[in-house]
Structure 1
Amino acid sequence: MENKLTILTTTYNRPDKLERLFNSLEKQSNKKFCWWIVNDGSTRSYKEIENVITQKNCEFEVHFFKKSNGGKHRALNFIIPKVTTEYTMIIDDDDYLVADAVETVLWYSDNYLTEDNNLKSIIFERAKNDEITPMSPLPQNIDFGQRFQYIVQNRINGDFTDVFLTKALKEFRLPEFAGENFISEGPLYFFFSQKYESVFIKKIVSVGDYNA
């Protein structure tokens, strides 16, 4: 079975958070994805959770990567160029996916993210503490626009789950500055919005609250 989606998760000193996400991936109704975990130079051991994952007979591929600590933005810059699947989704280590998330992502991606148009990413809602209430409700069931401008114009605050056409995502990098280990994905969304448009889908695919 050919994988169409890579789920990227960067993690630092939070091995205990990964099991819930892993369990949600095991429950996916569609297994045409791979999960890539990037350990950003953690000082805590990940051996226990890695053993839990590798000893399971998963129906999807799991790959572990490790790099020196530099922050999530550097971890993404490190891993995104290596992705070979058609689509890419970034999920934090303390989030999890609803059971039909991959099925939903692939259906919309196959129908909207093509070489023939300027739509290169899909924005889904994310729930905060349950699988019902969106953290930041989108105003329409389905809509189109440039991600950064759309969020500003509609005065929307909060996080979403973004899915990218990998070929388009690889055109961009998050900025890196000496001594700075935290840069949000905001610059990526801004630069992406200058060139490509996105589809906004009023459907929750991930759940996760803010954590330190």
Structure 2
Amino acid sequence: MITILTATYNRYTTLPRLLKSLREQSSKEFEWVLIDDGSSDETQHFVNELKETNLGFELTAVRQNNAGKHAAINSGVVAAKGNWIFIVDSDDALLPDAVETVLASVAAATSSTVGLCYRKAYFSGELLGNEIKTAEPSLISTPTEAGKLFKGDLAYIFRTEVMSKFPFPIFEAEKFVPELYIWNKIGDVGDVVFFTRKVIYLCDYLEDGYSRNFSRHLRANPKGFFIYYWSQFLREKTLFYKVKNLIRSAQCLLYMLLGRP
């Protein structure tokens, strides 16, 4: 069994779409761990209704005070019962064969494999990022290098035992740490298999999401971004990327000195 982990905050309007996609999975060999990060909308009403519904899979719902997606993921990892964790955002959805596809890859994974990664597409069907034209359907890489190759968000699945060793750091009064900071740490201890063409995940970028509000989140979470950019500065091999991450690190230090707006 795998764990589908969803951290949600004020996504009452999109959660039904995700739920529908989970109920339509060709394989029900999964549990859904839903972490409500202190929502102020009707999310809890939605969760209470779910608890009274025969979903066809196990649901674990946890509510916590608003602390950010990274903290909610930490809580979800603790609550997870599956051997692998598939992180699915609350405003996204899965294709019907997603769980079946992941389970097949899990069955074929070697002991050195710590992560699996698939492609995402927009709800329109358009692929996120580059179309990869290779003879092989998969490759082994690091999350950082894969980001340069694919040029688009990817759907990650990690071993639960490995994720539990690398919780997101928590900084007082901050609510965000880039996920790649932890994904890279996981990739340092084993192989991450990237499937170059297989799409299992559908998404959009909402107006209030992190991707559309990068500058504001950087100013509000300088410590969380600093540890990410500094780690990237140390990790990168080329001068261009080292300088890019060094500049971002300096920007974060400046925001720390000036204080958050």
Q: With structure 1 as the length reference, what TM-score do the two structures score? A: 0.89
For the residues of structure 2 that align with 1:73 and 1:183, how far apart are their CA atoms?
6
For the residues of structure 2 that align with 1:178 and 1:138, how far apart are their CA atoms?
40
Residues 47, 190 of structure 1: alpha-carbon distance in 2 compared, 3 angstrom cutoff: closer
**1:70 is paired with a residue of what secondary structure?**
coil
Is 1:143–1:200's contact at 8 Å kept on the other side of the alignment? yes
Query: Residues 151-162 of structure 1 correspond to what in structure 2 (within 5 A)?
Result: 151-152=147-148, 154=149, 156-162=150-156
Runs ≥4 residues deviating over 6 A: none
Q: How large is the RMSD of aligned CA atoms in angstroms?
A: 1.6
**1:190 is paired with a residue of what secondary structure?**
helix
The answer to whether the aligner puts 1:123 opposite 2:117 as a matched pair is yes
Counterpart position of 2:224 = none
Counterpart position of 2:32 = 35
**1:123 is paired with a residue of what secondary structure?**
strand
Query: Residues 85-104 of structure 1 correspond to what in structure 2 (within 5 A)?
Result: 85-104=82-101
Instruction: Kindly indicate which of the two structures has a greater share of residues assigned to helix.
Output: 2
For the residues of structure 2 that align with 1:193 and 1:37, how far apart are their CA atoms?
25
Query: Residues 53-202 of structure 1 correspond to what in structure 2 (within 5 A)?
Result: 53-112=50-109, 114-115=110-111, 118-130=112-124, 132-137=125-130, 139=132, 140=134, 141-152=137-148, 154=149, 156-201=150-195, 202=197
Letter in 2 for 1:142: S
Identity within the alignment, %? 30
Q: CA deviation at 1:54?
A: 3.1
Letter in 1 for 2:145: Q
Is 2:83–2:161's contact at 8 Å kept on the other side of the alignment? yes
Q: CA deviation at 1:138?
A: 5.6
**2:28 is paired with a residue of what secondary structure?**
coil
Counterpart position of 1:205 = 200
Is 2:114–2:187's contact at 8 Å kept on the other side of the alignment? no
Q: CA deviation at 1:51?
A: 4.2
Letter in 2 for 1:183: V
For the residues of structure 1 that align with 2:30 and 2:173, how far apart are their CA atoms?
35
For the residues of structure 2 that align with 1:67 and 1:120, how far apart are their CA atoms?
28
Q: CA deviation at 1:56?
A: 3.1
For the residues of structure 2 that align with 1:54 and 1:84, how far apart are their CA atoms?
18
Q: CA deviation at 1:47?
A: 3.8
Give the number of the structure whose alpha-carbon radius of gyration is greater.
2
For the residues of structure 2 that align with 1:151 and 1:197, how far apart are their CA atoms?
15
Q: CA deviation at 1:77?
A: 1.4
For the residues of structure 2 that align with 1:171 and 1:136, how far apart are their CA atoms?
30
For the residues of structure 1 that align with 2:131 and 2:73, how far apart are their CA atoms?
26
Structure with the bigger RCO (C-alpha within 8 Å, sep 6+) is 1
Letter in 2 for 1:85: G
Counterpart position of 1:6 = 3
Is 2:68–2:175's contact at 8 Å kept on the other side of the alignment? yes
Q: CA deviation at 1:52?
A: 4.0
For the residues of structure 1 that align with 2:53 and 2:140, how far apart are their CA atoms?
40
Q: CA deviation at 1:170?
A: 1.4
Residues 198, 56 of structure 1: alpha-carbon distance in 2 compared, 3 angstrom cutoff: same
For the residues of structure 2 that align with 1:47 and 1:41, how far apart are their CA atoms?
9
Deviation string 1:86-115 (CA, Å, 9 cap, x unpaired) is 111000000000011100011011111x43
Q: With structure 2 as the length reference, what TM-score do the two structures score? A: 0.73
For the residues of structure 2 that align with 1:138 and 1:121, how far apart are their CA atoms?
21
